[in-house]
Every structure is written in C-alpha cells, then in structure tokens.
Amino acid sequence: MDILDDILNTLDLNGALYFRTDFSPPWSVTVPVLQGAARFHLVVQGQCTVTLPSNRAKVLNPGDLVLIPRGQTHILSDTPVDEAPPLETVLEQVEYDGNGVLRVGTGDATASTQLVCGHFTFREKADHAMLRAMPDHLIVTSAMRAENSWLDDILRLISRHMFSNRAGLDASVRRLSEVMFIELMRLGIESKENDQLQPALSGFRDPKIGQALAIIHKDLQNPWTVGSLAKEVGMSRSSFADRFASLMGQGPMAYLTDWRLQKALALLETNRINVQQIASQTGYQSPAAFTRAFVAKFGETPTQYRHSHA
C-alpha cells in the first residue's frame, strides 16, 4: 500500500489559502505561530527574506518556496531585519478584509514582491514520526523545481491560478497546495539528494524499515511484536529494533501504538461504528485495553473525544 497516502489521509491533511500579496519596499511583517499547521510562502515576483526564530535569514527569489512545517513564527521582509510589525497590525493598517490581494506600500509596482501564502492543517491531536522529524523549514528553489517536473508543474499552476481571478479560485489553489505538500514528501522519500528532508524520511527509504512500515500500515489489526516484525523483514530482533528507532525516532512498538491511536481518532470523527468495533479494527484485544491506551495518550476517553468532535 502507499504509506504516505495512508498517513496524510488519516491525519486529515487540508490546504488553506490565506492571501496573496503585493508588497512595495520597504516592507516587513511578523507571521504569528499557527499551532498544528504548516505554513508556506511561494514567491511569484520580487525577492523575500524569511527570518526564523533561530535568526537564520533565507533569501527567496522568484519561483522559490518556503515550507515551515510546525507553524512557528517567522519574519517576512524585503531585506533582512531583526523585528517587524505583527501581521495583525499590518492587516489593520491597510484595512484588509480578507478578500483579494493584500497590498502594502505604494512604491514602484515593478519592484514589488508578490507572494502566494497558505497553510496546511491536520486533525486536532494529529501526530506522526514524519511530522515530528521535519526540519524547521524547507526551501524549494528554482533549481530543485527544474529537476522535478511534477512539483514544478503544480507550483506553476498555483501561481497562474492566483493571478487569474477565475471562479472557484480558492478551492482550486487549496487542492493544488495539498498535492504540492504530498509531492514534497514523496520527493523526500524517493530522492537521496534532498538533504533537507533526508532525516525526516530516511526510514521510509530504508529497504527493511520501509518494508516494516508497509506491513504495519497494511495490517494494523495483527498483534505484532518486535520479534514478529523483525522476522517478516528478515532481521534479528535487536538489530531491527535498533535500526527502526534510529531512523524513525521511536521504537517499533511505540510507532505501532501511536499509529493505532491516530487511526482511532480518524474513525471516531468520521465513522459511526462503536468503540468496540474501533478497538478491534485498530488491533486492540478489548475495548478496555483500547480505552486505557487512548486515555493515556490523549487524556480523555474515546467516547468523550467523539462527543466533543461531533
């Protein structure tokens, strides 16, 4: 099965467009924290400097994209700066109502910076080793786009749609941005050249650990143990456990438990089957065992979670 599809569908990946910009220099803005989300900025025209909390400043040129996986605060500006007004303040100053282009400044239009800005959200309490291991930022350059035609085509479509003013614009760009995120992850899995994504996705690329992940995702109901998974992929128990933990950031049983509970969250929100059936489908021997694991992880019972997300 396609593990990446299973992960992103279960975590409920959703794209959202929040604006496109037309910033005339000098300009700067502090983008606030957005918990449980990944922000992105695509440069269509001009130049943009992204400054992260670590004070690392990255210059983006036309065609470049930055993805900030954990929604941390950052500064966007025309030149490197140490501080900038909050986004909310900028929106109030220009009386932006959320529609159309966010315009800041009245300088030379040919020197303005035009961005497409959006974010991805996941289900509340969504969690996975892949998300935890992502770098604090990921930059896709024009050179990377030139080597990956699928990704380049998607980003070109996003840019063209954003400046077309056609009906259904927001919905179209949201869907394209979701595909973009999936292609970025797929690129990281398939390519050994992308240093930014290698640590986060190396487990998927490893022949043995990748096989074990496929087994877990395909047959979640099986009462797997470290030994039985190791046998499936032709490794000793200790070697398998060490290798899995090294590449995935957690042991195989912790990964299995976490993924069973993520599947349970999705079933509780989207399916009306009862708790006993969910326990069975996610590999628990009894509803009581499932409830204990769920409470230990999320601090509430499955029934309480379902009621609060009805």
Q: Tell whether the model's pLDDT for residue 190 goes beyond 80.
A: no
Q: Which residue has the higher pLDDT, 3 or 107?
A: 3
Neighbours of 12 (CB within 10 A): 16
**What structural domains does the chain harbor?**
3-199 (2.60.120.280), 206-308 (1.10.10.60)
Q: Which residue has the higher pLDDT, 168 or 223?
A: 223
What rounded mean pLDDT belongs to the chain? 89
Neighbours of 193 (CB within 10 A): 10
Q: Which residue has the higher pLDDT, 142 or 41?
A: 41
Residues 88-111 have a mean pLDDT of: 85
Q: What percent of the chain has pLDDT over 70?
A: 94
Query: 3-state class of 101 per DSSP?
Result: strand
Q: What is the crossing angle of helices 252-270 and 207-218, to 10°?
A: 40
Return the pLDDT at 187.
77
Q: Tell whether the model's pLDDT for residue 166 goes beyond 70.
A: no
Strands (E), the chain: 14-23, 28-31, 37-45, 48-51, 57-60, 65-68, 74-77, 101-104, 114-121, 138-140
Structure tokens at 287: 């509803």
Return the pLDDT at 228.
98
Return the pLDDT at 43.
94
Lowest mean pLDDT among 155-164, 177-186, 224-233: 155-164
Q: Tell whether the model's pLDDT for residue 195 goes beyond 80.
A: no
Q: Give the predicted TM-score (pTM) of the model.
A: 0.86
